[in-house]
Amino acid sequence: MATLGLPAMAGCAPPAGTTGGAASGRWHALRGLLVPRDSFGLVALGGHLYAAGGMSGARGTALASVEAYDPAANAWTARAPLPLALSSMGAAPLAGQLMVAGGAHDDEAVPLAWRFEPPTGHWQAIAPMRSARFGHGLATLDGYLYAAGGLAGGAPVAALERYDPARDAWAALAPLPVARFNLALVALGGLLYAIGGSGADRRPVATVDLYDPQRDRWSAGPALPEPLSNFAAAVAGDRTIHVLYHRTHLVFDRQRAEWTAARPMPTSRHGLGAAVLGSTLYAAGGCAEDPQRDLGTLEALDVAVSR
């Protein structure tokens, strides 16, 4: 997931302090997005990638457009648009459906949520979140959808809530230890990982918090090698997490409980989307810095998937 870099809807404007090294040459370019975008949702579902919402242009115009990528055809096709133009929302797969929750519309956080069923091609409203927010993390674990952190009313929030599809209802759970936004939320090994983000002072953090749904409790995890915010993260198999920001590519190994540097991306960008299909890591869209512009770029890297 990619999220907005600043609390105001500033469009494609990079945060200070970019990082990363030279391109490795092992990534390869694929057919780009139909609509360049950043701060959007990228989800792997049913053998396809889905890019939903986000924003485009210097003014940060929110998008409703949705498109799907077919790896076999190396092609994107337009799908039914979101019911509401949104940026910095949460997006995740759940029971064969694409779920979207929260986000920013007209510079305001919304609690609204929807599900998209690829066979029907239609969006359907579900119960709204208890807390309006954008720049939050959204992840699926054991048949539930979890939303953590975010920004609302100009301040970061710590709220964690869980969506039960059988009841079409959200329930409040133990909040993050520290409120933050522009974080990544992923599920690995039966736990949720809340990675990085920005706190009340708007500065990126290296914090990684682990949530145990059986105990409804957070604990400290191995911190990132450097503070990061407005980045993308994706899980490969049941062992590793890939984090992408500018050209930086970090990998967390659950068995070793450590972060290591991996092959850098060829294209420097923030606010991008990341997802894993099979053994391929995809990096899509985002905001480039020199000059500042939204990207439609799609790049892929074969990764080891351990189960």
Q: Quote the pLDDT of residue 59.
A: 67
Is the per-residue pLDDT at 48 higher than 90?
yes
Q: How far is CA 177 from CA 19, 188, 211, 218, 281, in A?
A: 27, 19, 10, 7, 30
pLDDT digits (tens, 9 = 90+) for 221-270: 999 999 999 999 999 999 999 999 999 999 999 999 999 999 999 999 99
Band of pLDDT at residue 25, cut at 50, 70 and 90: very low
> Is 0.85 surpassed by the pTM of this model?
yes
Mean pLDDT computed over every residue of the chain = 91
Average pLDDT over residues 134-138: 98
How many Å apart are CA 152 and CA 173, to the nearest integer? Answer: 18
Is the per-residue pLDDT at 6 higher than 80?
no
Q: Quote the pLDDT of residue 14.
A: 40
Alpha-carbon torsion (224, 220, 239, 37), positive or negative? negative
Q: How far is CA 144 from CA 21, 164, 257, in A?
A: 38, 6, 25
Lookup result for tokens 């302090």: 17
Q: Quote the pLDDT of residue 15.
A: 39
By CB atoms closer than 10 A (0-12, 13-18, 19+), residue 31 is: middle
Decide which of 26 and 180 is more confident: 180
Q: Quote the pLDDT of residue 79.
A: 97
Average pLDDT over residues 118-122: 90
How many residues are present in the chain?
307
**Considering only 18-22, 61-65, 138-142, which range has the smallest mean pLDDT?**
18-22
CA angle at 64 for the pair 59 and 66, rounded to the nearest 5°: 120
Is the per-residue pLDDT at 11 higher than 70?
no
pLDDT digits (tens, 9 = 90+) for 172-213: 999 999 999 999 999 999 999 999 999 999 999 999 999 999
Q: Quote the pLDDT of residue 19.
A: 36
Over pLDDT 70: what percentage of the chain? 91
Q: Quote the pLDDT of residue 10.
A: 55
Average pLDDT over residues 39-55: 97
Strand partners, 252: 241, 259
Band of pLDDT at residue 24, cut at 50, 70 and 90: very low
Band of pLDDT at residue 289, cut at 50, 70 and 90: confident
Average pLDDT over residues 134-157: 97
Average pLDDT over residues 144-173: 97
Band of pLDDT at residue 292, cut at 50, 70 and 90: confident
Instruction: Give all domains of the chain, ordered by start, each with its CATH number.
Output: 28-302 (2.120.10.80)
pLDDT digits (tens, 9 = 90+) for 53-66: 999 986 678 999 99
